[in-house]
Amino acid sequence: DVKVTQSSRYLVKRTGEKVFLECVQDMDHENMFWYRQDPGLGLRLIYFSYDVKMKEKGDIPEGYSVSREKKERFSLILESASTNQTSMYLCASSLWDRGEEKLFFGSGTQLSVL
Amino acid sequence: QQPVQSPQAVILREGEDAVINCSSSKALYSVHWYRQKHGEAPVFLMILLKGGEQKGHEKISASFNEKKQQSSLYLTASQLSYSGTYFCGTESLGGTYKYIFGTGTRLKVLA
């Protein structure tokens, strides 16, 4: 089974702190994604990466950066956390299977910024 | 641009049918459907790539219209296990890997 692992299920941080959210996948997937999920807004794409050291902005990249030094690991960085970044963060990786691409999601990190 | 999903929420009795729609203002490369149960990760249901395509997965099926701007998810004879939030994910023409999701449809099936 494909496994996408997010390092923390719950995280509480203070305003202004630098926050690292880690995501690891074990299936050698090329593409990885970071979304945030907020009630009524669905899943919004922050950043994605289609190769090591490659990154592309999603729809809401402001206040975030990412790092992909190794294929299996995709990190989301909040340079200076703010209260409006309190959210559920979901990491995903994708697999091409018989001409179709599927996203596999991690269980999410619920981040609270106080 | 985020696709528009409708309805936002639906409540069904076991055995009833439901349709969830997903619309884009532009033609798409693909549309995905996912289901997320409360407190869990979204899980892939199916992907549609071709205009006019219809695809089924047990009693859950989906269609993609000819213009590739609208997709519908059909839930037939719903079961309690169908409860959750359904998301459509879209990819723009050109296959950019940039998957944009709708706002979700909350579906609750009652006994």
- Determine, for residues B101 and A31 on separate chains, whether the beta-carbon distance falls below 8 Å: no
User: Is A103's CB within 8 Å of B89's CB?
Assistant: yes
Most A CBs within 10 A among B30, B31, B98, hence the mutation to make, goes to: B98
B95–chain A nearest CA distance, Å:
10
Instruction: Name chain A contacts of B44, Cβ cutoff 8 Å.
Output: 102-104
With a CB cutoff of 8 Å and minimum separation 6, the contacts of B16 are: B77, B78, B109
pLDDT at A99: 75
Surface-to-core class of residue B101, CB atoms within 10 Å of its CB (0-12 exposed, 13-18 middle, 19+ buried): buried
Q: Over the stretch B21-38, which tens digit does the pLDDT of each residue have?
A: 999 988 888 999 999 999
pLDDT > 90 in chain A, percent: 78
B107: number of Cβ within 10 Å: 21
Report CB contact under 8 Å: B44, A103: yes
Question: CA B80 to CA B11: how far, in whole Å?
Answer: 11
Dihedral sign computed on CA atoms, order A23, A76, A53, A56:
positive
Q: Which pLDDT does position B95 carry in this prediction?
A: 63
Q: Across the interface, do A43 and B97 touch by the CB < 8 Å criterion?
A: no
Whether B58 has a pLDDT exceeding 80, the answer reads no
pLDDT interval class at B1 (50, 70, 90): confident
Q: Is A50 in Cβ contact with B97 (below 8 Å)?
A: yes
Residue in A67, A62, A86, A81 with CA at minimum distance from that of residue A23:
A67
d(CA A35, CA B10): 25
Could you give the 3-state DSSP secondary structure of residue A62? coil
